A and B are shown apart, each in its own frame.
Chain A
Amino acid sequence: MSSKPRIVITGLGLTAPNGNSLGEFRANLLAGKARIAVIDVRHMGKHPAGVCDFDATKWQKRKEIRNGTRVGSISIYCSREALGDSGLEWDKVDKSRVGVYLGITEHGNVETENEIHNISQFGNDTKYWTHHHNPRTVANNPAGEVTMNMGITGPHYTIGAACAAGNAGLIQAAQMLQLGEVDVAFAGGVSESIHTFGIFAGFKNQGALGAHEDPTKASRPFDKNRNGIVISEGGAIYVLERLDDALARGARIIAEIAGWCINSDATDAVLPNPERQTECVRMALQRAGMKPQDIQIVSTHATATALGDIQECTALRTVFTDCPDTKINNTKSFIGHCMGAAGALELAGNLPSFEDNWVHPTINIEELDPECAMPGLVINQPVKVAKVEAILNNSFGMLGINSALIVKKYGVA
């Protein structure tokens, strides 16, 4: 990628179940604080879930909130916070040169379920079906809500990439910046999935829905007694720019996008394929011009399913042999699986490591599954390392989509 423009991160806004800013999120990751609630899921009763408590009215009128979607509010909050973090003088930015690229696992299920429930109260008469249904459920909804709220007239769309979507949004933005399609991109991943019972029921009937009497311990990747996914909502949206543009305006550069890969298993709808994951990680390293030893932190995708965690560990053990300085962690153990936001949030939680050299752990491991044992796995307590210059962020999803994104500390060769 050396002949293409270099892409950097200059802003970040997020909402996670345990934090509505990077500072709060990071502090809780280093302090080992998970935050998982118990919610009443329609038709299914109580289940653990990651719930965000950001103030939507900070950036939206109440009517906007009412007419839009939950994920639209998450997207607007994260984008506005990212803009503030970037230091961009918004009044002077050409809005036709700004793009919005948001990764989503799914979209429209929440509103469709709500309306099916709504008309069931009226004898299933479709004249009671809301006229807001279509603008709420079109697949570009979250990105489109951002453009309307912020007056952005450049391109916007979502990238449907299952649970690899957070990385995919960032990759799409980097590509569009390299192509010169836009000058500024708001990109990342978002999810409102806790508001649809279908995703809970689907995972439960697949034997992959996490449970524990203490909800904060329900998400426990790599633990021998893990029993599935904790579904969460959330969002993380970044401001991306070409390096030259960022330098010209004197921006604070948070990190540089170093390399990436998205590939496909082409084997099974739900079961991951460690060979393809291995190829994905290796290709990202090759494109970044790096060796495995150049990575100090691997942010795993592991969701706490019985097989998925083992498959990812198999892939990582294959790539990261003889890498004594590579640490491996997992953020879902704190916040559950934020679906479309997962990859983007998990990357965000690790970015401060470039400055403080701390690596947050994976928590909730009472008994490490021997099949998930890896040198470098940071268990239950954060560790301080000599340096962090490159982070590999894994994010995988159904239908066999794999994504690996590498970011590096700016200024490192």
Chain B
Amino acid sequence: MTKDDIKQVVLDIIADIAPDEDLTAVKPEVRLRDQLSLDSMDFLDIVMELRKKHGIEVPEADYVQLASLDSCANYLLPKFEAKGK
């Protein structure tokens, strides 16, 4: 699993939870909330889908780490590696 793979994992989840959004030009370094119409319930959906689909737990204190695709990749990479993915 590479950081780019993880970014795609997050984008795939967002495509499910925010199906009206155009995800073709999401900037990885920019906060997701600043370029997509996502609210706090949507971020909880991202946390839930990571748990359901990948067995990844994101504690509430770490939600801020999901701000952008880059920060998602940096934060989630060791978690995916710990899962042997």
Cβ contact within 8 Å between A63 and B44: no
Residue A4, interface by CB 8 Å: no
Main secondary structure, interface of A, reads helix
Known: A67-B41, A131-B44. A61 touches B20 (CB 8 A): yes
Give the CA-CA distance A237 to B37 in the complex, in Å: 30
Give the CA-CA distance A127 to B52 in the complex, in Å: 10
Chain B residue nearest in CB terms to A125: B51
Within 8 A of B (CB), among A54-70: 61-63, 66-67
Residue A117, interface by CB 8 Å: no
- Chain B contacts of A131 at CB under 8 A? 41, 44-45, 48
Q: Which listed residue, A62, A63, A128, A132, touches B51 by the CB 8 Å rule?
A: A128
Total chain A interface residues with beta-carbon distance under 8 A: 11
Cβ contact within 8 Å between B20 and A63: yes
Cβ contact within 8 Å between A132 and B17: no
Known: A131-B41, A131-B44, A132-B41. A66 touches B51 (CB 8 A): no
Within 8 A of A (CB), among B1-42: 17-20, 37, 41
Q: Which listed residue, B19, B37, B44, touches A66 by the CB 8 Å rule?
A: B19
- Chain A contacts of B37 at CB under 8 A? 63
Residue A130, interface by CB 8 Å: yes
Cβ contact within 8 Å between B18 and A130: no
Cβ contact within 8 Å between B52 and A62: no
Give the CA-CA distance A63 to B38 in the complex, in Å: 10
Q: Which listed residue, A63, A122, A130, A132, touches B19 by the CB 8 Å rule?
A: A63
- Chain A contacts of B20 at CB under 8 A? 61-63
Q: Mark A202-241, 1 if CB is under 8 A from B, else 0.
A: 0000000000000000000000000000000000000000
Contact count A vs B, C-beta below 8 Å? 22
Q: Mark B41-77, 1 if CB is under 8 A from A, else 0.
A: 1001100100110000000000000000000000000
B9 to chain A, nearest CB (A): 18
Give the CA-CA distance A131 to B48 in the complex, in Å: 9
Chain B residue nearest in CB terms to A129: B48
Cβ contact within 8 Å between A128 and B52: yes
| 13 examples of A-B residue contacts, CB within 8 angstroms | A61-B20, A62-B19, A62-B20, A63-B18, A63-B19, A63-B20, A63-B37, A66-B17, A127-B51, A128-B48, A128-B52, A131-B41, A132-B41
A67-B41, A122-B52, A128-B51 provided; 16 other pairs, C-beta below 8 A? Answer: A61-B20, A62-B20, A63-B17, A63-B18, A63-B19, A63-B20, A63-B37, A66-B17, A66-B19, A127-B51, A128-B48, A128-B52, A131-B41, A131-B44, A131-B45, A131-B48
6 closest A-B pairs (Cβ-Cβ)?
A: A62-B19, A61-B20, A131-B44, A62-B20, A63-B20, A63-B18
